[in-house]
Amino acid sequence: MDSNQKIPTQPKFLRSMLDVLLNENAWRTILVQVVAVLLALLIGAVLLLISGANPLEAYAALFRGAFGSPIALGRTLEKATPLIFSGLAVAFAFKAGLFNIGAQGQLLFGAITAAFLGFALHGLPPYIHMPLALIGGALAGGAYAIIPGALKAYRGVHEVITTIMLNYIAINVTDYLADGPWKDTSPGNIVARTPVIDPAAAIGKLGPIPIGFIIAIVAAFIVWWLLQKTTVGFEIRMVGLNPSAARYAGIKVAQTLILTMVISGILAGMGGAVETLGVVGRYQPGFNTGLGFDGITVAMLGKTNPFGVIPAAILVGAMKAGSSEMQFASGVPKEITDVIQALILFFVAADVIVRSLLRMRKEVGEDVKLSSGWGKQ
């Protein structure tokens, strides 16, 4: 071979993906997650027996309701889509040591803003109207996240406190808008809700697959790329690991914290926008309840990894989509799925139990850092 001839190399993106797939620690983490789910299902089976139900029949009905047909699969992915966005929002904030409990409020503002842009604008082609409403909802969530980000960066106010309070503000403001200036005034309507969005703003489906789900997968790849392959992502991760060291290295910690919260809010707001434009077709109080809080569960199940968020969201979405079938077929209370979900989260969070069963040692760097502390950065 000519010494001057260059050996072809793989594109950087493919090499990075191969590194992720071949990472031994990643596979060990996946094994822990799988065993955690199995343990939760096992304890759930005991609870089902105590309640007088057949666990095999109940779980079979749960699977049918979630994956048993194209319609069931579409419903599962539909449930999983906003959970991917809210999970990404929480996971992204974790990387900077921030615990964004405010994803729920940011999601609500994204949902109602998308609804407003969806019904207030007319005559736009779909390729303009839908992206405009989607981006508008995302930006609304990001704008709302500036508040806790700035308070954390410049006044040292802990984001857990501010985001919890801002959630209540978001709930009441969006309720007021849906029952006040943006209320559906069509004859006979007495419910607090906005008018139906224009068809040009709607997010459709590709067969049983919601297009919103595809957008969520793309968002997960973008988040991974941003965190792992850009200078901004490196700075965010460094601030999360050690703010003092990051500041000493010349990183602008305050600006990085605010930027992190804004991007987290954009992801949450986009989740609300997709739910409005692709599922509900309008904003109605109560239809988005809990989606932001479930994002915390999804982020924890996915170990705050953008790619881990996807299967975690599908799992939670499957439990939500299949719970009705399980209840109908086996007479199981619908709340049993919430108990199983809580058990899964417990075993994932307290993974020392699972690792002791597998005789597996925790590797350095596997811990999830929830917050950088209460003091000023």
338 Cβ neighbours under 8 A, 6+ residues apart: none
Q: Which pLDDT score, from 0 to 100, does residue 317 have?
A: 92
| Domain locations along the chain | 82-314
59 by Cβ neighbours in 10 Å (0-12 / 13-18 / 19+) ranks as buried
Q: Report d(CA 69, CA 63) in Å as an integer.
A: 10
Contact (Cβ atoms closer than 8 angstroms) between residue 83 and residue 320 = no
pLDDT at 13: 52
Give the pLDDT score at 14: 55
pLDDT of residue 71: 93
Tokens of residue 297, six digits: 């569960």
Block residue for tokens 């719970």: 323
Q: How far apart are CA 145 and CA 135, in angstroms?
A: 15
pLDDT of residue 19: 56
Per-position DSSP letters for 69-125, written without gaps between them: SHHHHHHHHHHHHHHHHHHHHHHHHHHTT---TTHHHHHHHHHHHHHHHHHH--S--
* pLDDT value for 326: 85
**What digits encode the pLDDT tens for the residues 8-54?**
455 655 555 555 555 556 677 777 778 888 888 888 888 888 888 88
206, containing H or E segment: strand 205-206
Residues (pLDDT < 70) of the chain are 1-26, 349-377
In this structure, the number of other CB atoms found within 10 A of the CB of residue 200 comes to 18
The DSSP secondary structure of 317-329, one letter per residue, reads HHHHHHHHHHHHH
Q: CB–CB of 260/149 below 8 Å?
A: yes
Q: Structure pTM? A: 0.86
